[in-house]
Amino acid sequence: MIMSEPAQRIEADSEIPVDHEFLPALSVSDVRPGQPKRATIGDLELTIYNLGGTFYATEGYCTHGRAHLAEGYIDGTLIECRMHGGTFDICSGKAVGAPCTVDLKTYEVKVEGDRILVAVPRQGPVGQNA
């Protein structure tokens, strides 16, 4: 039986798909616990969170409307949108509180020194900007 190649191959030495790369978003000192922070990598808007010293990244805007989640409120592991009070789980991106029903995209994060790196889709073909 011939198996088809998976849609997203994973690099052997990391947990991110080969069409993603880690790029710097913010400094560790920029993101205080309980205070979501806006970041931009290329055209990608992100919100970065510090939950007890562990960093997370989601897409920047609420899936219900045009409110940036960096202006929202962290409650435990939830982010509450300032616009209509919808909530998402920061770790999984899952929409957990009305009126939000569409999950957030989440991104892998790693810390190197004082830099927060986020795994984002590569801008060009795989291997082009290595």
> Binding marks (x or -) toward ligand FES, 86..105, rule CB under 6 A?
x------------xx-----
Choice between 69 and 109, CB closer to ligand FES? 69
Q: Can you tell me the distance from the alpha carbon of 130 to that of 128, in angstroms, rounded to the nearest whole number?
A: 6
According to DSSP, residue 29 is labeled G
Neighbours of 1 (CB within 10 A): 2
Burial 2-41 (b: 16+ CB within 10 A, else e): eeeeeeeeeeeeeebbeebbbeebbebeebeeeebbbbeb
Does residue 31 touch ligand FES according to CB under 6 A?
A: no
CB-nearer residue toward ligand FES: 21 or 80: 80
**Looking at this protein, which amino acid is placed at residue 60?**
G
By beta-carbon proximity to ligand FES, the closer residue of 61 and 91 is 61
Quote the least distance from Cβ 3 to ligand FES, whole Å. Answer: 42
Does 84 bind ligand FES (CB under 6 A)? Our answer is yes
Query: What SS3 state is found at 117?
Result: strand
Tell me which of 41, 79, 81, 119 binds ligand FES, using CB under 6 A: 81
Q: Which positions touch ligand FES (CB under 6 A)?
A: 62, 64-65, 67, 81, 83-84, 86, 99-100
